[in-house]
Amino acid sequence: MTDLSSPVSHGLILPAGAAVPRTRACAGRAGQASRMAGLALALAGAALLAACGKQGATLGEGGSEISGSAGPAGANKANRELMKCDAPVATLALVENPNGYVMTGANNLPTTPLPLVRLLAQQSGCFRVVDRAAGLRATIKEQELKDAGILRKEGSTVAKGKGYEAQYTLTPSLTFSEQDAGRQVGGLLAMIPGLARFVGAAEHVKLKEAQVALLLTDNETTEQVAAATGSVRVTDLGMGGLVLGKLGGAAGAGWANSNEAKVIAAAFLDAHNQLVVQARALAAKDLPEPVPTRKVKAAPTGTAS
């Protein structure tokens, strides 16, 4: 005969040592208790899977939604959702937002998203990207060294009058917000006998949002010819370190180390896809010659006798 005092008979699996709720006392909250117990078990299950996983470094894994490379060989290992153009429409320079970046509640974020946006612009094939940042400063330094007589005269890496002009300028804008939903979940857990010990862990459940914008300006006319926004929302359980110990407690309930920068990168991917739609409608400007590439020698078809 089933023991009605057993937690299993009520659809609950409580941690060891937890007080067993009485049937009459919990009758009005059975549905809510069942849902919260399912949440606690799901969090614990995810933690156990993470704890059992193999540790090690895997090249090409991790990172953000923006990945891969771009160059003479085309876009390599780019995000599958990245939209592309059949041919570039203009040369493009990316500049920092003069007003900086507003990131409410964000910690440990990169100082600028520009490198990732530059990669997206080149991978999409919509623009020829020209450097107006550290690469340009290094080029100017090389010219100064050559003018000072330090570099060899026959060198071909530095030459005046061969730089490409930027026909368009792209300016990124970023606003990041983070909303904490953990207190609401924690409050519900506190009402359920035996699950109150999970309140501290549940308070680390967060909803993370990021919204960004990309502004495209024609340098010839100063007209803003295109603008696009991108956004993303993710739910971070913040429970990667949750492990049910022998005492039935939550070991590692304070582990919440999700990287906000990955959320922002995903938002820029979304914004760039919106920008590509507009770039496809632009008439192509007069472009410089493409970057020379190495010619691949054809394999011999046979051997001489």
* pLDDT over threshold 80, residue 191: no
Q: Looking at the chain, which runs of residues are DSSP E strands? A: 90-94, 102-103, 127-129, 168-180, 206-218, 224-236, 243-244, 250-251
122 vs 104, higher pLDDT: 122
pLDDT tens per residue across span 108-134: 555 677 888 888 888 889 999 999 988
The CATH homologous superfamily of the domain defined by 90-149+162-279: Lipoprotein like domain (3.30.160.150)
* Cα–Cα separations (whole angstroms), residue 60 to 52, 53, 67, 76, 134: 22, 18, 9, 12, 26
* Residue 276's pLDDT band (cuts 50, 70, 90): very high
The pLDDT, as a whole number, for residue 96 is 82
Percent above pLDDT 90 for the chain: 21
Report how far residue 151's alpha carbon sits from residue 139's, in angstroms, rounded to the nearest whole number: 13
pTM recorded for the entire structure: 0.60
pLDDT tens per residue across span 244-275: 333 333 333 322 334 667 778 888 889 999 99
- Tell me the mean pLDDT in the region 280-299: 81
Range from 1-5, 88-92, 258-262 carrying the lowest mean pLDDT: 1-5
Amino acid code (one letter) for 134? A
